Amino acid sequence: MKLTIITPDKPVFDGEVTSVTVPGSAGSFEILEKHAPIVSTLENGKVIIRNGKSEEIIGIIGGVVEVIHDNITVLAEGILEA
C-alpha cells in the first residue's frame, strides 16, 4: 500500500507501508491491504505507520484520511512536534 501524509506547509511522508493506524473521530482504526474505500475525519493524535517489523509514529493535528485502491492519503492540519 502507498501512504501519503500532507500538511498545508509540506509533504510529511510518502512511501510503501504494510498497515497504518489513524486517530479517527469515532476512535482509532487500522488500515490494511485491500481496505474498503473510506473517507473519514481525523482528530489530534498518532498516525502509526508499519512496514514489516519497523514502526514510525507521526503526531497530527486533525485532518482527513482517504483510502482508495490501496492508496492512503492523510491530509493533516499540522504536525505535533515531539
- Do residues 60 and 21 make contact, with C-beta atoms less than 8 angstroms apart? no
Length of the chain, please?
Answer: 82
Which tens digit of pLDDT belongs to each residue from 37-52? 999 999 999 999 999 8
CATH number at residue 49: 2.60.15.10
| Contacts (Cβ under 8 Å, ≥6 apart) of 49 | 3, 13, 17, 20, 55, 56, 57, 58
Quick one: pLDDT band at residue 81, thresholds 50, 70, 90?
A: confident
Q: Enter the pTM of the model.
A: 0.94
pLDDT at 82 over 90: no
For residue 10, the enclosing domain spans 2-79
Note the pLDDT of residue 46: 97
Q: Indicate the number of domains in the chain.
A: 1
Tens digits of residue pLDDT in 4-38: 999 999 999 999 999 999 999 999 999 999 999 99
